[in-house]
Amino acid sequence: MVAVLHLHRAERADALVEALGDLVAQPLDDPMEAEVLAVPTRGVERWLTQRLSSRLGTTPGRFDGVCANVEFPFPGRLVGGAVAATTGVGAEDDPWLVERSVWPLLEVVDACLGEPWLSSLAAHLGGSGADADAGRRTRRFTSVRHIADLYDRYSVHRPAMVRRWASGDDTDGEGRPLPHEAAWQARLWRHLRARIDCPSPAERLDDACARLRLDGTLCTLPGRLSLFGLTRLPASYLQVLRALGVARHVHLFLLHPSPVLWERIAGAGPAPSTIVRRRDDRTAALARNPLLGSWGRDAREMQLVLTADDDPRVDHHRPVEAPTTTLLARIQADVRADRAPPGPPLPGHDDTRPVLERDDNSLEVHSCHGQARQVEVLRDAILHLLAEDDSLEARDVIVMCPDIETFAPLIHATFGAGADDVNAGDVDPAAPIADARPDLRVRLADRSLRQTNPLLGVISELLALADARLTASQVLDLAGRDPVRRRFRLDDDDLARMEEWVAGTGVRWGLDAQHRAPFQLDRLEANTWSAGLDRVLLGVAMAEEDQRLVGGVLPLDDVDSSAIDLAGRFAELLDRLQASLDALRGPQPTRAWAAALAAAADALATTTYGDSWQRAQLGRLLDEVVDEATTEGTTSDAELTLPEIRAVLADRLRGRPTRANFRTGHLTICTLVPMRSVPHRVVCLLGLDDGVFPRKTARDGDDLIVDDPYVGDRDARAEDRQLLLDALLAATEALVVTYAGRDERTNAERPPAVPVGELLDIVDQTVRIPSPVDGAERRARRHVVVEHPLQPFDVRNFSPGALTPDRPWSFDAVALHGAQALAAPRHQAPAFLSSPLPPPGGGIVELDALERFVQHPVRAFLRQRLGVNLADYSEDLSDALPVELDGLERWGVGDRLLAARLSGADLDACLAAEVARGILPPGALAQPILDGVVPTVEGLVSAAAALGGDPGARRSIEVNVELPDGRRLVGTVPGVMSNLVSTVIYSRVGPKHRLTAWARFLALTATSPGTAFEVATVGRGGRRFGVTVARIAAFEGEAGPRRARALHHLGRLVELYDRGMCEPLPLYCA
């Protein structure tokens, strides 16, 4: 019997889906048999499901149907499953699937790595045996997986070569020997073939096709197969489809941009009997439209593959009718007709290009400063389109970008900020353009699993931490992840308290000293998590008193009774983290890795009942890895290192688009692949920057296909161009393109991506703009390309006609206020206060408030009167071991040592406590700092002792004095010994210290005039003097005159305080 393929081709997918609907509406012979419809992406599957549901099972005149009992495999799975089933191999159990063949290949490589014929691979992996380079050996799994991918690619695109290898002939399938440097691939493949002991897909291909031609029942596929949206088809797939077509109806729904080019290629001559080499392709120059020639290679080569033999086929063309009244429509029409645009006229000839209408916005190209600005501009472009057409909805717009992970946070920040602020029904039609923002909600597809599943994000971070230093910020970041917070019941206050403990205990990095062994610091326990945790737990039981150490540990004096439970949870978190990371170190088989990761997830994270799917998804992922490493019930014993298990899971943690995220009614944002051919009224292409698109792929020196490509072979850069052509034709009303046209830092001009430049060239050749009065020629691209300013609050964004004709550009109300402020006349900054505030009132003046005022008058006004605290709390945790202390840190060491020595503690005990605190540099590095601080501390202690008095007899005196204005001054003066008030500080004695002593002196004298009080302040001196003692002698005379004099000065000081509480005073008392 002869197989007949039914080719349905159209320039746009909506025409193909009409033909598909007509086909599927005819039921299969067996009503219980599922319809099989192979699709290239899940986005296309979602679209087809929605479109078919409006055709299948509908009530006449309505669209209430349903699309059910339809399977949507990928074309490769469909073809591979048919070959496997025909030859007695389960489709999912085929040992030659890449994800399965990599494991026996890993064992083969390990066994043969020391042999001379595999020396090139051994050199890449750092050698073999005991002398192997451990660093380069971490490439092992990645390299072996790459080789497995190559073998799979050879089976699809060069099956004849693989069959020659199987027969022991190291040739390329056409009799030419392999290059000497690549001969190892054939020999390694034969070792793999012997290890798997099962024919490879290339070996099975001819036999499977012959069997299918003789007996179609060998395959359980239904009597009708459809493959939808193809733009590329390997020859081996076509061979299988033709074999399936003997007993079944096989329908190929092809996206081909130009029926004219199809006919021209078909009429160019008889098709070759075999697939020709790309360099010999005589049809490469047949395309007349520049975009077809540059962007449409994949579609053109697919036609050559399909027509490379004489087997019968039925060709159905579904033309697309579209008006040609807009620029976009004219470009699309030229592509469909394979017609070159008119182009500028020759001298002396008329210009036949149509005039580009002023309001033609069907094609917009936006040049922006960087990625963030592109997202902002794209949002405004979409809002303009929605505002101008009431029938346009968010579901009619698709946004595609080369890298969704790069743009995802920018999209959330830009679209998410205003998505829920205003509902569509709440918008005032009369509101200004920048205030009436529609409710624009987005749905991101294709995101990586670790972004959409927080539990997988935890596992990904654990794998990264397993050989990391475990810095303070890394562990706290892990603790801040939602699943971890839920496991240990951590709220925001708990995390803030933990961060304070980490800073207070001096934790920098490393679980313990042993964890630092790879860094040659295994003798250093200080600044580890273990040392910090010991301080926290000891702080639960006792306070930091008398410089007392317990087992060399200083208690943390910041753990109150309410934080005891948190300290326990903190300790449990660190204990479980250490146990989990210990299980992730060292080589181990796949099953052991899966068990360790599952145990780590259960120990460190948990989910709510509603989010239990996250743990189930992790379980399925780990089970899949183990299952793929298992053959005939035996799991591979190949041991993987930590970098290798990361490589195993990396591909699984990347984006796996599902149909659920596409066409949900919201604005869909995805990568270029899933929805490229699905028609939308508006297609937006985000981030087509030079150097980013088309993709730059390094040439693979091991890939034998790259050296001699055939027609139909995959090429990433050509595929990207085909993606762009599909997107161009899929836009039914408007196409919006953004790219980085200027550097956001230097403002240097950047060119667009090469395909965007080609599109702009086509614009200039397709339409023209009337020349201005002066006769100067203007290219049409100047109307199409909009160059946006750097800042969203630039006045040009809100000036009608500045960026786009007759209308302002931006919808951002916040940026509008900024632009208005920027354009407003400049005025002198207003005074901080237009007039002094009224007196605070009250009958009591606190001595503490008075002291704070004389120390920092303006700060006291801001804090005490206005309630404004300007302190900076944004200091990040340090992850590096301290090597040197800055001036403030040195002062802290000296201040703590001085306070301890004045309390009577022994110097050695003080130094031991300071070392145990974890603030000093480790080991001998701390000694120079202590050598610089201790003499000063001892000098201050000696100077304080020289003042006389018994330190043990220090007391505080309560102050309660009636001031001359009738108010009362109340407070406490500490450090009183007999008639001496002494204050010892580690700081240099400055004006604020002297004024504080003066205020205390006056308060004491007014309170107890019968005692001739003196005040002394001891502190560091200048560079020439080690110690400074500032004394205030007692007032002379009897008690009455002393009190009167003290009250007089207090009155003046309080008067100054009153003024300072009404307005900031120009005084600086530091």
Helix (H) or strand (E) holding 236: helix 235-244
- Of 792, 825, 852, the one marking the end of a domain is 792
At CA 498, angle to CA 492 and CA 504, rounded to 5? 140
238: left (phi over 0), alpha (psi -120 to 50) or beta: alpha
- At a CB cut-off of 8 Å and minimum separation 6, what does 176 contact? none
Question: What would the pLDDT profile of 217-240 be if each residue is shown by its tens digit?
Answer: 888 899 999 999 888 889 999 999
703 and 787 fall within a common domain:
yes
For residues 667-677, average pLDDT:
81
Q: Position of tokens 């703590």?
A: 896
Single residue among 624, 653, 682 that ends a domain in this structure: 653
> pLDDT at residue 948 above 90?
no
Judged by average pLDDT, the poorest of 22-36, 573-587, 948-962 is: 948-962
Alpha carbon distance 95, 912 (integer Å): 65
Q: Are residues 126 and 48 in the same domain?
A: no
Average pLDDT over residues 125-145: 83
Considering the domain architecture, whether residues 10 and 63 belong to the same structural domain is answered as yes
Buried b (16+ CB within 10 A) or exposed e, 990-1021: bebbebbbbbbbbbbbbbbbebebbbbbbbbe
- CATH code for the domain of 884: 3.90.320
Type of residue at 953: A
- Whether residue 45 contacts residue 51, with contact meaning beta carbons closer than 8 Å, is answered with no
Structure tokens at 647: 């490589």
- Residue 952: predicted pLDDT: 67
**Nearest by Cα to 433 from 472, 384, 365, 498:** 384
- 385: domain CATH number is 3.40.50.300
291: pLDDT confidence band, cut at 50, 70 and 90? very high
pLDDT for 671: 85
- 535 and 549 fall within a common domain: yes
Q: Are residues 476 and 591 in the same domain?
A: yes
Together in a domain, 306 and 368: no
pLDDT at 821 over 80: yes
- Tell me which of 448-457, 702-711, 816-825 is least confident: 448-457
Q: Tell me what pLDDT residue 873 has.
A: 61
Beta-carbon contacts of residue 545 (< 8 Å; ≥ 6 apart): none
CATH code for position 618: 1.10.486.10
Contact 947, 980 (CB under 8 A): yes
Evaluate if residue 347 carries a pLDDT over 70.
Answer: yes
- For the packed helices 140-157 and 183-196, what is the interaxial angle rounded to 10 degrees? 90
Q: What is the pLDDT of residue 428?
A: 40
At 66-106, the pLDDT tens digits run 889 999 999 999 998 899 888 888 778 889 999 999 999 99
> 363 has which bridge partners?
735
Model confidence at 522, in pLDDT bands (50, 70, 90)? confident
Give the contacts of 460 (CB within 8 A, at least 6 positions apart). 450, 649, 653
Calpha distance 339→290 (Å, rounded): 9
3-state secondary structure of 978: coil
pLDDT bucket at 448, cuts 50 / 70 / 90? low
Q: Which is more confident, 870 or 18?
A: 18
pLDDT at 899 over 60: yes
Do residues 380 and 811 lie in contact, with contact meaning Cβ atoms separated by under 8 Å? yes
Q: At what angle do helices 454-465 and 564-583 cross, to 10 degrees?
A: 70
Using one digit for the tens of pLDDT, what is the confidence trace for 152-167? Answer: 999 999 999 999 999 9
- Give the residue numbers spanning the domain of 934: 844-1060
Looking at the fold, whether 899 and 929 belong to one and the same domain comes out as yes
Do 271 and 381 reside in the same domain of the chain?
no
Q: How confident is the model at residue 772 (pLDDT cuts 50, 70, 90)?
A: low
Residue located via tokens 């069997």: 211
Identify the bridge partners of residue 1018 per DSSP, sorted by sequence position.
984, 1029
Which one is predicted more confidently, 924 or 651?
A: 924
Alpha-carbon torsion 195, 198, 200, 201, what sign? Answer: negative
- Residue 560 in tokens: 């109150």
Tell me the pLDDT tens digit for each residue of 778-803.
Answer: 789 999 999 999 999 999 999 999 99
In a domain, 662, yes or no: no
Establish if 114 belongs to a structural domain. yes
Task: Give the residue, 541 or 434, on which the prediction is more confident.
Answer: 541
Question: Which band of pLDDT confidence, cut at 50, 70 and 90, is reported for residue 421?
Answer: very low
Residue 685 counted as domain residue: yes
- The tokens describing 1033, both together, are 């002698």
Assign 199 to helix, strand or coil. Answer: coil
Q: Is 710 left (phi over 0), alpha (psi -120 to 50) or beta?
A: beta
Q: Please, which residues bridge with residue 1019 across strands?
A: 1028
Comparing CA positions, the residue from 714, 643, 665 lying closest to residue 139 is: 643
At 270 the pLDDT is 65
In a domain, 797, yes or no: no
Selection from 257, 288, 118 nearest residue 729 by Cα: 257
* d(C-alpha 220, C-alpha 944), whole Å: 98
The alpha carbons of the chain give a radius of gyration, in whole angstroms, of 39
Strands (E), 136-282: 224-230, 249-255
E strand or H helix that includes residue 143 = helix 140-157
Q: What is the pLDDT of residue 844?
A: 92
Does the residue 355 lie in any domain? no
Torsion of CA 616, 620, 623, 628, to 10 degrees: -170
pLDDT at 586: 87
Q: Which residues of 313-325 are buried (b: 16+ CB within 10 A; e: fewer)?
A: beeebbebebeee
pLDDT band at 418 (very low <50, low <70, confident <90, very high): very low
Alpha helices in 427-471 (DSSP H): 449-452, 454-465
Dist CA 728 CA 290 (whole Å): 14
Average pLDDT, the chain: 88
Non-local CB neighbours of 1036 within 8 Å, separated by 6+ positions: 1042
What is d(CA 417, CA 402) in angstroms, rounded to the nearest whole number? Answer: 23
Are residues 115 and 29 part of one domain? no
pLDDT at res. 1018: 92
Check pLDDT > 80 for residue 664.
no
Do 26 and 117 lie in one domain? The reply is: no
Q: Specify the pTM.
A: 0.83
- Helix extents (H) in 686-827: 704-707, 716-730, 754-766, 781-784, 813-823
Domain boundary among 197, 218, 244: 197
Q: Residue 884: inside a domain, yes or no?
A: yes
In a 13 Å sphere around the CA of 296, the CA atoms on its Cβ side amount to 30
- For residue 1018, what are the contacts with CB-CB under 8 A and spacing of at least 6? 940, 943, 944, 947, 982, 983, 984, 985, 989, 1027, 1028, 1029, 1030
Is residue 662 very low, low, confident or very high in pLDDT (cuts 50, 70, 90)? low
**Number of domains within the chain:** 5
**Residue 560 has what pLDDT?**
85
Same domain, yes or no: 408 and 470? no
Sole residue written with tokens 């020639």: 293
Q: Look up residue 797 and give its DSSP letter.
A: G
* 811 assigned to some structural domain: no
Query: Is residue 799 domain-resident?
Result: no
Q: Which of 229, 219, 190, 17 is nearest to 105 (CA)?
A: 190
Residue 952 CB partners (closer than 8 Å, separation 6+): none
CATH code for the domain of 244: 3.40.50.10930
Per DSSP, the three-state class of 589 is coil
Query: Which of the four pLDDT bands, split at 50, 70 and 90, describes residue 1?
Result: low
Q: Which residues pair with 471 in a beta bridge?
A: 509
Same domain, yes or no: 389 and 271: no
Q: Exposure pattern of 268-293 as b/e (b: 16+ CB <10 Å)?
A: eeebeeebbebeebebeebbbbbbbb
Helix ranges (DSSP H) in 158-233: 159-166, 183-196, 201-214
Residue 1061 CB: number of other CB atoms within 10 A? 23
CA 365 to CA 783: how far, in whole Å?
9
* Per-residue confidence (pLDDT) for residue 87, from 0 to 100: 86
What's the pLDDT tens digit per position in 488-505?
999 999 999 999 999 999
Once rounded to an integer, what is the mean pLDDT over residues 581-595? 93
